[in-house]
Amino acid sequence: MKTLILAALLCALLALTSAQGQCGDKPACPSGWTEYKDRCFFYVPKVTSWPDAQKNCQSLGANLASVRDKDEYGAIQNVILSASKDSKKAWIGGSDAQQKGSWFWADGTPFRYTNWSPGQPDNKDGNQNCIQMNFGAKKLWDDGDCNRGNPSVCSKRLF
């Protein structure tokens, strides 16, 4: 009986020891994704509507990308440039479709940073509720028609 208890304790101790070696390991982004700080970003070149782009990101365990600051915006622009060899417009996760003028990020990140082009958002024709990035000469944000087609950028957190 003592031998059995001792063996179980030794087994548990070994399991704990090997688990501790792995606990400090940093998770990595999936293949094809780009790491920036605590998140992974992925450019999707397929042209789709904003809702379809968000569904696609969710199928990858992600959401359309939120943007927390200027540096992160630059990193997302670099993801697009690296993948497409161009600074194409792309959907990111901002929308005010639920309530006009109340912008939110699809992943739940607080909407604190903005990077609107001059005169934006303007809700032209009353149906621009989704953020497209790399808009205009300065490559800033525009509120676009969510049903219009654009490539997109997904993001997921590293855990």
Q: Can you give the residue ranges of every domain in the chain?
A: 34-157
Sign of CA dihedral 88, 93, 99, 103: negative
Written as one string, the DSSP assignment of 51-82 is HHHHHHHHHTT-EEPP--SHHHHHHHHHHHHH
For the chain, the average pLDDT equals 88
Looking at residues 131-159, what average pLDDT do you find?
97
C-alpha angle 44-45-51 in degrees, rounded to nearest 5: 60
Looking at residues 9-17, what average pLDDT do you find?
37
Provide the strand spans (E) within the chain: 34-36, 39-48, 63-64, 90-95, 104-105, 128-135, 140-145, 150-157
Residue 8 has pLDDT above 50, yes or no: no
The 10s digit of each residue's pLDDT in 75-111 is 999 999 999 999 999 999 999 999 999 999 999 999 9
pLDDT for the residue numbered 27? 84
pLDDT for the residue numbered 154? 98
For residue 46, the SS3 value is strand
Name which CATH class applies to 34-157: alpha beta
pTM for the model: 0.83
Contact 91, 53 (CB under 8 A): yes
pLDDT for the residue numbered 26? 74
Name the residue with higher pLDDT: 20 or 74: 74
- Here the tokens at position 57 are 């990101």
The 10s digit of each residue's pLDDT in 15-35 is 333 333 345 577 899 999 999
pLDDT for the residue numbered 29? 96
